[in-house]
Amino acid sequence: MSAPESASQAAATPKQPAYLVDASVYVFRAWFSMPDSFTDHAGRPTNAVYGFARFLCELVEQTRAD
């Protein structure tokens, strides 16, 4: 077991931000904004998955730029 960090060591360590995303809003928006032609090989709709994944990729790109 390692020794606990001192308060000064913990304060000096840069922290990465954590993002909390209300996914239901973005999935709902993607479902209704993407065309119905987005389907998988079995014909199941994938428009919400595609739209939400695109949103997450854009979020990652925006946060990297900051």
pLDDT tens per residue, range 3-44:
566 666 666 777 888 889 999 999 999 999 988 899 999 999
The answer as to whether 1 is a domain residue is no
Residue 40: per-residue pLDDT: 94
Q: What is 31-56 written as a DSSP string?
A: HHHS-TT-B-TTS-B-HHHHHHHHHH
Number of domains forming the structure of the chain: 1
Distances from the Cα of 13 to the Cαs of 10, 19, 53, in angstroms? 5, 19, 31
- Please answer whether residues 50 and 40 qualify as being in contact, where contact means their C-beta atoms are separated by less than 8 angstroms: no
Q: Does some domain include residue 22?
A: yes
Flag whether 55 is in a domain: yes
Residue 2 covered by a domain: no
> Domain range spanning residue 30?
14-65
* Secondary structure class of 26 (helix, strand, coil): helix
- Does the residue 31 lie in any domain? yes
